[in-house]
Structure 1
Amino acid sequence: MRHISTSVAVAVLAAALLLAKHRARRRRRVVGIIPARYQSVRFPGKPLVDILGKPMVVRTYEQARRSVTLDALFVATDDERIADACRKAGAHVLMTSSTCPNGTERCNEAVGKLEKEFDIVVNIQGDEPLMEPEVIDDIVRALQDSPDAVYSTACTPLAREEVAMRNRVKCIVDACGYAIYFSRGLLPANKQGVAKPFPEPFAEKPYLLHLGIQCYDRRFLAKYCKMPATPLMLMEDLEQLKVIENGYKIKVIMVDHCAHGVDEPEDVASIESKMHALGCT
């Protein structure tokens, strides 16, 4: 019995060492990319809009720079006005093509220009100047701790009166914290077609707002950008649905984030008010 117990102990120790070695080698090298384009149908020049005396994209860069998991951080743009404003503020800039159809592909192009290789790419929305660096750190760690996922993101509770708003992207997740679906419409829906409390015993369960921040496995990101568009992605106009439609997993973390991004000019005043309340300068 002693011999068997010793063998089992040795096997357990060997397995633990292998696991520790795997975790030590897990996706460690992390780069943050802030894609920024000047042209916008609803808000031209949005990255350069003044937020308490600084361009919004610079505010976002300064906030993201406080993350402890990012090994490098860049603004990726095709516009010299944005690049100049960022460089004057001390930000690192990567120039990308004007033909990039979205922020994801701009991130992929930008990372391809770097001499150093990275394991994880974080797409940080330039119109989220109040995105907490802790949220960046949390989604990076979530991807590192989820080897079966290729993508991680964050959600926060959504006020019921905002559930019907089309510019609020909703998300539902499974019991293990992986995304099931995203939508601009009511999600989850019900027979009445109106936002209402979940049935008992889940009455306290919130609707979930998807935050724009996205974290990718680097190899998957390169593959993703070569995948053709998918039906649900086109129907909802949501890039992340292409991940789910192709059978990949998205890990979702829950955070308490009360500041929405700047979608339209009238959102600027709200952001500045929140920054004043936080004592931002």
Structure 2
Amino acid sequence: MRTVIFIPARYASTRYPGKPLVELRQKDGSTKSLIQMSWEAARAIEGVDAVYVATDDVRIAEHGRGFGAEVVMTSEACENGTARCADALAQLDEAPELVVNFQGDAPLTPPWFVEKLIAAMRADPTVSMATPVLRCDRQTYENFVEDRQNGRVGGTTAVFDRYQNALYFSKEVLPYIAPGKLPEPIPVFHHVGVYAYRPAALQAYIDAPVSTLETLEGLEQLRFLAAGMPARCVEVDARGRVFWELNNPEDVARIEAALEAQ
């Protein structure tokens, strides 16, 4: 099954303009851009035939080519990463059987997260779209709560049914847990912003109308749910690694601390 990874990247982020080009300090004291770190993380994933940076911004494209990335220039009209993946897919000479959307703001994503996602898609041909979820440890849960208490939009949580199909995704911390009643294991799942789609699912997404929930939450994957298209949640194991995305400037320190600890 031919599999390609697209890393959607845009310069004009509402919360953090220029985010893909932000430099992060590495363990050895050097710095690398967020998009380069994400590209390197994607290239470490086994079972992938090609990795592309998908962008509409010349600055990101030139920077990506500078560190060796293949770049696909996409339309400025792409409203989110899924739409950008669909646009990039249409430009390939050879269509793959599986497309992975690897977020350009998540360089801490371990390769086995995506490898398990790809394996799940290969094992069940009825699944048209899948995404990883990670059970929160106490530190991650506290990061979620701290962000919300300070009015910041942090990571995304996911709730799903007994068949692992998503019920909802939210930037709120779901399910709600009353103060002082946090159970173990913590029943909150961090949605890892990676998606695997079959090409037909990408086309169905583009054909579906933008949903109210998608607009309110600012979460592109809610269009799948609103259109009645199942989203399979694949639980992954952090294996002791810290996972966090770069959503806000405050996250730079969190990610640099995680790099130092690895």
> What TM-score does the superposition give when structure 1 sets the normalisation length?
0.81
Question: Which residue of structure 1 lines up, in the alignment, with residue 10 of structure 2?
Answer: 37
What residue number does 1:184 align with? 171
Q: 1:254 to 1:187 in 2, by over 3 A?
A: same
Residue 226 (1) aligns with residue 217 (2): no
SS of equivalent to 1:40: coil
Structure 2 residue runs of 5 or longer lacking an equivalent are: 26-30
Greater relative contact order (Cα < 8 A, sep 6+): 2
Task: Using the TM superposition, give the Cα deviation of residue 245 of structure 1 relative to its aligned residue in structure 2, in angstroms.
Answer: 2.1
CA gap of 1:274–1:186, structure 2 versus 1, over 3 A, is closer
Give the whole-Å Cα distance in 2 for the aligned partners of 1:93 and 1:84.
9
Q: Which residue of 1 aligns with 2:245?
A: 261
3-state secondary structure, aligned to 2:112: helix
Deviation at 1:266, TM superposition (A): 2.3
Q: Is the 8 A contact 2:144 2:154 kept in 1?
A: no
Distance (Å, rounded) in 2 between the aligned partners of 1:91 and 1:147: 31
- Give how far 1:205 is off: 4.9
Aligned counterparts of 1:182 and 1:270: Cα–Cα separation in 2: 23
Question: Are 2:108 and 1:130 equivalent residues in the alignment?
Answer: yes
Tell me whether 1:276 sits opposite 2:254 in the alignment.
Answer: no
Structure 2 CA distance for aligned equivalents of residues 250 and 45 of structure 1? 30
Alpha-carbon offset, residue 261 of structure 1: 0.9
Match of 2:97 in 1: 119
Alignment match of 1:148 (pick from 117, 126, 145):
126
In structure 2, give the amino acid aligned to 1:217.
R
Distance change >3 Å, CA 71–CA 163, structure 1 → 2: same
Shift, 1:162, TM fit: 4.1
Match of 2:74 among 96, 112, 115: 96
1:213 is aligned, of 194, 213, 230, to 194
> Contact between 1:143 and 1:251, CA under 8 Å: does it hold in 2?
no
The list of structure 1 runs, each at least 4 consecutive aligned residues, that deviate by more than 4 angstroms after superposition, is none
Residue 28 (structure 2) aligns with: none
Aligned identity (percent) is 36
**Residues 134 and 190, structure 2, Cα contact 8 Å, conserved in 1:** yes
Select the residue among 216, 226, 241 that pairs with 2:222.
241
Give the corresponding residue for 2:135.
157
Preserved contact between residue 154 and residue 248 of structure 2 (Cα < 8 Å) = no
Q: What do residues 97-133 of structure 1 show as CA deviations (whole Å, max 9, x unaligned)? A: 1221111111110111000111111111101111111
How much does 1:180 deviate? 1.5
| Mapped partners of 1:107, 1:88: distance in 2 | 22
Distance 1:130 1:186, change over 3 A: closer
Q: 2:173–2:188: 8 Å Cα contact kept in structure 1? A: no
Q: Separation in 1 of the partners of 2:144 and 2:104? A: 23
Equivalent pairs counted in the alignment come to 245
CA distance in 1, matches of 2:231, 2:34: 28
CA distance in 2 between counterparts of 1:122 and 1:270 reads 26
Question: Contact (CA 8 Å) 1:243, 1:249: kept in 2 or not?
Answer: yes
Which amino acid is 2:77 matched to? T
Which of 53, 63, 81 is the aligned partner of 1:75?
53
SS in structure 2 at match of 1:142:
helix
- Mapped to 2, the partners of 1:196 and 1:243 lie a distance apart of 33
**CA offset digits 1:247-268 (Å, max 9, x no partner):** 2221111223422111122211
Q: Structure 2 length as normaliser, TM-score?
A: 0.87
Distance (whole Å) between structure 1 residues aligned to residue 235 and residue 83 of structure 2? 26
CA contact (8 A) 2:8 2:85 kept: yes
Gaps of 5+ in 1: 1-27
Q: What is the RMSD of the two structures over their aligned residues, measured on CA atoms?
A: 1.8
List per-residue Cα deviations over 1:134-176 (Å, max 9, x = no partner): 1111111112222222111111122343454342311111122
